[in-house]
Amino acid sequence: MTNSRRATIHDVARMADVSAATVSKVMRGVTSVKPANVVRVKEAISQLDYRMDPLASGLRNEQRRIIGAVVPDLESPFFGALVTGLESAAEDAGYTMIIASSCEDEGREADLITRMDDWRVAGTVLVPVRSERGRGAEQLHALDMHAVLVDRVSASDRFDTIAADNFAASASVADLLVGQGHRSILLHSATRISKAARTRQEGFISRVQALDPTVRIDTLISDGGVEGHRAGIRSYFDKMDPNDPITAVFSLSQHSTLIVLGEIRRREMRIPDDVALVGFDDAEWMRITWPSITAVAQPVEQIARRSIATLLGRVEGNIDGFRVQHLEPCELRPRQSSGQRPMMLRNSRQYQRD
């Protein structure tokens, strides 16, 4: 477009009457430069409005100040928030992020990892479609890349892993529901391959059995896109024995909560009187909708910060010790759908129709 080319490191060097190498040192904060020269270089930099080209900068080095992030989808608020946190943490450390969505496809996931390697990223944050054994993780290992695995993982001996404490949180859901006297509970999952969902299932079941082995737990795991899920839950209710119905549902993901809720609404069942509902993964609408939905909130921000910190620890510190598994505690937020009383009305007159 316009002809005025952008200032390079050589322009700065010329203006400050030093060599390019010296400018490079000043830029990176290396100390072995005479103070007087530092001043002149900085002067020239601001005079020319010089900004370094991160691309050229990375070329010479084996590792570049880029972090890759691969998540299963970007439309869910959970991953959106996660990515926002990752980006912010990476930026604070002076890294640029390249974000990509695997669209819940393991083949694409492996391709994206390869592409991250093409960019010679310093490290990669992977939220696998499946688990720490999925194709993305395999590719990370095959290409010998630095990485942390996040969310849909349990411990791995190849990579550091970071996730919400799905097991403990699900156990606390079990405490809540069994404590309220539910004796027939449906566990609903909208994916059979997510490690997180499997861990939630295990955490819930093991606690329920410890509390009361006579409680019946039905497990419904459906697949096949929205229609498949719909059909699955519909047929479950159709076949359910009216004399021994389930009285509570624990849905294992936000998506699953929506599906279950849709079906409950369609059948005009009352929440929580006919059936109580608790969902894993909180969302703003769950607080607002009526009745409000009890949910487990995941500490997204925490997970994001720790992911970057752990990854950069490996990358920069060149730590080579045992792989660590981080579990971040979740928070159970009881609301109306599990029998919590509605919030009191305060600070305002009641609106009256005439």
CB atoms near residue 42 (< 10 Å):
15
Residues touching its own copies: how many (CB under 8 A)?
71
Q: Are strands 331-333 and 147-150 parallel, antiparallel or unpaired?
A: unpaired
Contact stretch for its own copies (CB under 8 A) within 96-104, 186-194, 205-213, 216-224:
96-104
- To the nearest whole angstrom, how small is the minimum distance from the Cβ of residue 42 to its own copies? 18
Specify the pairing of strand 184-189 against strand 160-164: unpaired
**Closer residue to DNA in complex, CB, 48/74:** 48
The binding site for DNA (CB under 7 A) comprises 5-6, 8-10, 17-25, 27-28, 31-34, 36-37, 50, 52-53, 56-57, 59-61
Write out the binding residues for its own copies, residues 230-269 only, by CB under 8 A. Answer: 234, 237-238, 240, 242-243, 245, 258, 261-262, 265-269
* Tokens at 301, concatenated: 């921000």
The secondary structure of 236-301 as a DSSP string is HHHHS-TTS---EEEESSHHHHHHHHHHHHHTT--TTTT-EEEEES--HHHHHSSSPPEEEEP-HH
Contact 65, 93 (CB under 8 A): no
Sign of CA dihedral 99, 295, 276, 153: positive
Indicate which single residue of 1, 31, 36, 179 sits in contact with its own copies (rule: CB under 8 A): 1
The answer to whether 233 touches 220, Cβ cutoff 8 Å, is yes
List the one residue from 284, 317, 321, 322 that touches its own copies (CB under 8 A): 284
Measured distance CA(264)–CA(242) in Å, rounded: 15
Q: Is 51 in the site for its own copies (CB under 8 A)?
A: yes
**Residue 98 — φ and ψ, nearest 5°?**
-110, 115
User: Of 81 and 215, which has the nearer Cβ to its own copies?
Assistant: 81
Q: Please state whether the peptide bond connecting residue 272 to the residue before it is cis, i.e. omega within 30 degrees of 0.
A: yes
Where do the H-state alpha helices sit in 29-76? 35-48, 54-59
Q: Report the residue from 52, 168, 193, 215 that binds its own copies according to the rule CB under 8 A.
A: 52
Nearer to DNA, 24 or 289 (CB): 24
Instruction: Provide the minimum distance between the beta carbon of 100 and DNA in the complex, in angstroms, as a whole number.
Output: 20
Per-position x/- string for 108-137, each x denoting binding to its own copies as judged by CB under 8 A, each - no binding? ------xx-xxxx-----------------
Which listed option, DNA, its own copies, none, makes contact with residue 250 (CB within 5 to 8 Å by class)?
none
Query: What is the rounded distance in angstroms from the CA atom of residue 100 to the CA atom of residue 248?
Result: 37
- Would you tell me the crossing angle of helices 77-92 and 300-317 to the nearest 10 degrees? 40
Can residue 345 be called a binding residue for its own copies (CB under 8 A)? yes
Neighbours of 1 (CB within 10 A): 3
The answer to whether residue 227 forms part of the interface with its own copies (CB under 8 A) is: no
* Contact characters 139-158, its own copies, x per CB under 8 A: -----xxx------------
Amino acid at 257: T
Alpha carbon dihedral 165, 168, 172, 175, in 10-degree steps, equals 160
Is residue 290 part of the contact set for its own copies (CB under 8 A)? yes
Based on CB atoms, which residue is closest to DNA, 22 or 131? Answer: 22
Binder of residue 25, out of DNA, its own copies, none (CB less than 5 to 8 A by kind): DNA
Binding-site partner at residue 351 among its own copies, DNA, none, CB < 5 to 8 Å by type? its own copies
Residue 311 binding its own copies, by CB under 8 A = no
